[in-house]
Amino acid sequence: MSERGSLEIKNVGKSYEVDRSELKVLENINLKVSPGEFISIVGPSGCGKSTLLRLVVGLDDNFGGDILLDGKRISGTSLQRGIVFQDHRLLPWLTLEENIDLALENSGWSREKRRQAVADHIALVGLKGFETVYPHQLSGGMSQRAAIARGLVFKPEVLLLDEPLGALDALTRLRLQEELLRIWKTEKVTMLLVTHDVEEAIYLSDRIVVMHSGPGRVADDIRIDLPWPRDRASHEFADVRREILRSMDAYAPATAKAA
User: Between residues 193 and 240, which has the closer beta carbon with respect to Mg ion?
Assistant: 193
Binding partner at 45 among Mg ion, ligand ADP, none, C-beta below 5 to 8 Å by kind: ligand ADP
Nearer to Mg ion, 42 or 153 (CB): 42
CA 12 from chain centre, in angstroms, equals 18
Query: Is omega for the bond preceding 135 within 30 degrees of 0, making it cis?
Result: no
Task: With contacts defined by CB under 5 A, name the span among 31-39, 42-50, 204-212, 220-228 that binds Mg ion.
Answer: 42-50
Q: Is the peptide bond preceding residue 215 cis, with omega within 30 degrees of 0? A: yes
Q: Which residue in 15, 28, 34, 50 binds Mg ion (CB under 5 A)?
A: 50
Instruction: Give CA–CA dist 104/79, Å, rounded.
Output: 8
**Is 25 a binder of ligand ADP (CB under 6 A)?**
yes
Measured between its terminal Cα atoms, the distance across the chain in Å is 51
# chain residues binding ligand ADP, by CB under 6 A: 11
Interacting residue with ligand ADP among 5, 27, 42, 48 (CB under 6 A): 48
Please report, as residue ranges, which positions from 77 to 96 form the binding site for ligand ADP (by CB under 6 A): none
The answer to whether 16 contacts ligand ADP (rule: CB under 6 A) is yes
Footprint of ligand ADP on 28-47 (CB under 6 A) = 45-47
C-alpha pair distances (Å), 33 with each of 9, 57, 240: 8, 15, 21
The helix (H) or strand (E) run that includes residue 256 is helix 254-258
Give CA–CA dist 236/205, Å, rounded.
15
Interface ranges with ligand ADP (CB under 6 A): 16, 18, 23, 25, 45-51
